[in-house]
Structure 1
Amino acid sequence: MPDSNSLYRHATRSEIIELAVAEGHDADIPSNAGSIRDISTSPSKTKLSSMDLERDIEKGLEEDIEKGNPLSSTSSIHNSEDTTPNDDDPNIVTWDSPTDPQNPMNWSEKKKWGTVTVVSCITFLTPLASSSFAPGVPQVMETFNSTDQMLEGFMVSVYVLGFAFGPLIIAPLSEMYGRLPLYHVCNCLFVVFSIAAAVSSNMTMFIVFRFIMGCFGGCPLTVGAGTIADIIPKEQRGTAMSVWMMGPTIGPCVGPIIGGYLIEARGWRWNFYLVAIIAGAFTLINMFLMSETYAPVLLERKAARLRKETGNPHLRSQLDSGLSPKELFKFSIVRPTKMLTRAPICIVISIYCAMTYAYLYILFTTFTAVFTDQYHWRGGVVGLSFLGLGLGSLIGQWFFTHFGNKTVAKHIAAGDFQPEHRLKLMCLGGFFLPVGLFWYGWSVQAKTHYMVPMLGTAVLGFALLMTFMPASTYLVDVFTVHAASAMAASTVLRSLTAALIPLSSQDMYRTLGYGWGNSLLAFLSIGLIPVPFVLIRYGERIRAAQKVEL
């Protein structure tokens, strides 16, 4: 077994940033490998104010946040120090030894992969719930005696609005109290509000409960990757992350297939009952089988116990952030806002992703109507209309993982890697997006065989993955220390657009038809094609010229 204690005592700048990204927070907040400020501050500093922290990081980093330092670049490792400055302080509390059983990295393989399995299952369920009842939208409208087509789309997309706001609160809370309490509380409340949505007696109640479901359902998406990073060594983490990523990728596409047949057999309310039953089972499994994995919280508990036992008030965790709850919330909410308003690269990438994500939810909110009206599908069969989108997404995920890694590895080997190399596959996605929209729209308009528009949606699924995944890795490479804030900014904007833009999709299709309606979206997406090309050519210059004070 590798020396797990070295993860805490000899972490390089690159390793700290990489682990912080996996855990979903900025690198100036301690991860299981420590904090970037351990490299940039002096040994005498044990508690820092928010202003001190920002100033010290500013002095300690070689480049500002928008000049970037790629995670995989060898220069970032060479320029970092080997140890943190506080290693010899007798008041620092850390693991007893490299094989300390309290360290989650030293758990048994059975316990580690059992935890990964449970977290992956929850992360599959909550995105699945975002669209699983889409085939039942007409039933919901009939139940509540509503003919408002804007509400027809909003009841599906309001769930993703919760994904935008929930993580802004969940992330700092997990850094204060650990991952396990957040899993338990959010899982329980997700079950409660799933049942509440099922028993809603009017449209307002239903939409509010759907939104709250999304807020709590965002928990595994927010802290799941961090849980995997807590317990799985870097060498094995890629496999675990791939399993975990399957949930957000295919969950929203598989959900309507399951929901279509269930709604036909038992009605739309049973869709939420089923989600609640499965989520409840996972919650019980969590409570019995999962333990806390977040090292900063575990070491803080150990330090608190030792302070009480020894009477030494100066004992402190090696991973103590020195940040108050107020400062953690500030970094979680204020930083993404600044990124979204002051960092040109973050603004451009976020707008690009927001528009393409809105297209995805326009499809989610209209598939049922399209295949019911145009192809006269009924009952559970309507859910199968999402199959093409899911298949295309899976192909896109494999394509990006295989060819994206090869491209980056080639440039790293040549010593000329730049974050903009991540965007080459995004250029490909930019071309496929309008192709898929034209294909889907006009094949539906012409009432061709149903396989033709489904192939068009497969092209769309591929294009969407070729947009989201390169964009996410590019933001990580550009913003390094503050990558989590940049990704949070992008997530908030795309969730807002995905919730609001589809509200007008039914009116658009009714006015323009499916052919010209999707053509309008395709023409807009054609306008986005130059974005990655421009960033590939001028991105380095933009990063060198711009600076954001956080």
Structure 2
Amino acid sequence: MTRKHYILLSRFLAARLTGSLFKAFAASSFVPCVPEVLKDLNTPGEVINFTAVRLYMFMLGISAFIRASYSRFYGRRPIYLISLPLMCLGSLIVSLSTSVVELTIGRALQASAASGFISVGVSSISDIYKLEERGTAIGAYYVAVLLSLAIAPMTGGIAAIYASWRLMPIIIFGISLSSLISVIMFPPETCHPGSRGVDKLREGAELAGQTYRPKWVWLNPFQSLKLLRGPNVSFVAIATACAFMTDYVMLIPLSYTTGPRYGLTSPALIGACFLNSGLGSTLGSPIVGRISDKIIISKRKQRGGKWLPEDRLLATLPGAMFLVPLSVLMYGIAIEFIPGKIGLIICFMCLFANGIGLVMVIGPSGTYAVDILQTQTAEVIVVISGIRHFFAAQASAFALPLIESIGVVATCALAAGVAWFGFA
């Protein structure tokens, strides 16, 4: 095994995998437990959806900007050393919460901790892998993320049935504590020597004949938003966000749409519905990553060695044009007009197709952004992710009220229209 693969493997096992699991489990394992939380805390559903779901997505987006900025200045590894203790604290507060205020604080801390895992993880992979391998490597990395998204809701639902909704935060606390020890002991820094901001400060002090004294440097975390002034980044951010929000329109209201329509009443059965979307994404991610790399290699060979980063976006077209919008549209139609097992099977197929379509849009688009901004990988990933989670937060907040107001078909048709707008 080469040193490159050893570094990737050690970081993946000790930090990336567990970090991805935290992000997914903290977010997705909570959704099927919402009815149990309502009973326990005696709180209306709208309040929990706003504080524990929408606020989580908002904090996830905001905190990611801070993590990305400081990962470029101080390196990738310190982000994990800060984020994991926060995940421990947030999970502990959630598990012990007796009011909406305590639950909100705990969820906010969980989101703040989880925010750095995805952007910093992708940045580390871009540090290690070259252009022709990057899509496949990022696709393989996302397998862990998407697999955890698939199993987290069902796991949370089972925990809620046989123990309590408070069990999952306790489990996340234990795993995050052990992962913190692993990160301290094993993973190395992947930033290239001399590329960090702190390295440049040290070099400047040495050139001036001075002794460098480490000090805290305040950074503007939202400076990376300037990247949106470039049409390449802004178009990719909007396109992926429009596709991503369809997933939340389909999944967040499951307890109120698919569940009652087809007699799925327990949290475990509701959580099992998430498996279809997650499995679609998990199966599609490494394949789509490999396809995007093959397109890059093939197109560059056709041009006699000339490389165009936009070639990678060709891999997104089937998902953006067909799979994402048509799956959410058919999902709404099936819930409204097709009863029984046939309707439920069609819903499952739509969730699976939507999962595949999402990774076809998000995976190559993210890799493309990394390709064109090699020196700002964490920042560009977090900008795109921040826009995506902003859209997802709106979908989480307004999906259920829209369904209650205009119906599930009209809501899904509206989501499909937004997805087609993103493609256009």
Shorter-chain TM-score bucket reads: 0.7 to 0.9
Partner of 1:210: 107
* Alpha carbons 2:89, 2:106 under 8 Å: kept: no
Aligned pair count reads: 412
Question: 2:364 aligned with 1:470, yes or no?
Answer: yes
- Kindly report which structure 2 residues correspond to 1:29-428, keeping only aligned pairs within 5 A, or say none: 113-128=9-24, 129-149=26-46, 151-152=48-49, 155-228=52-125, 241-292=138-189, 294=191, 295-296=193-194, 314=209, 325-326=217-218, 329-330=219-220, 332-334=221-223, 336-340=224-228, 342-377=229-264, 378-415=266-303, 417-428=307-318
| Unaligned segments of structure 2, at least 5 residues | none
Partner of 2:385: 491
Letter in 2 for 1:247: A
* Alpha carbons 2:126, 2:370 under 8 Å: kept: no
SS in 1 for 2:256: helix
Partner of 1:436: 327
Offset at 1:434? 1.9
Q: Sort the Cα spacing of 1:392 and 1:357 in 2 relative to 1 into closer, same or farther, 3 A.
A: same
Q: Sort the Cα spacing of 1:158 and 1:396 in 2 relative to 1 into closer, same or farther, 3 A.
A: farther
Q: Give me the identity figure in percent.
A: 20
* Alpha carbons 1:195, 1:273 under 8 Å: kept: yes
Q: Sort the Cα spacing of 1:175 and 1:343 in 2 relative to 1 into closer, same or farther, 3 A.
A: closer
1 or 2, which has the higher helix percentage? Answer: 2
Offset at 1:388? 1.0
TM-score, length of structure 1 as denominator length: 0.66
Q: Output the CA distance in 2 between the equivalents of 1:344 and 1:150.
A: 37
- 453-462 or 402-411, larger mean C-alpha shift: 402-411
Q: Output the CA distance in 1 between the equivalents of 2:267 and 2:123.
A: 40
Partner of 1:47: none
* Alpha carbons 1:292, 1:298 under 8 Å: kept: no
Q: Sort the Cα spacing of 1:154 and 1:443 in 2 relative to 1 into closer, same or farther, 3 A.
A: farther
Q: Output the CA distance in 2 between the equivalents of 1:110 and 1:345.
A: 34
Offset at 1:204? 2.8
SS in 2 for 1:314: coil
Q: Output the CA distance in 1 between the equivalents of 2:132 and 2:357.
A: 30
Q: Output the CA distance in 2 between the equivalents of 1:455 and 1:269.
A: 31
| Unaligned segments of structure 1, at least 5 residues | 3-104, 318-322, 532-550
TM-score, length of structure 2 as denominator length: 0.84
Q: Output the CA distance in 1 between the equivalents of 2:29 and 2:357.
A: 22
* Alpha carbons 1:391, 1:461 under 8 Å: kept: yes
Q: Output the CA distance in 1 between the equivalents of 2:119 and 2:378.
A: 11
Q: Sort the Cα spacing of 1:215 and 1:111 in 2 relative to 1 into closer, same or farther, 3 A.
A: same
Q: Output the CA distance in 2 between the equivalents of 1:192 and 1:146.
A: 24
Q: Output the CA distance in 2 between the equivalents of 1:453 and 1:414.
A: 42
Offset at 1:478? 4.5
Offset at 1:413? 0.3
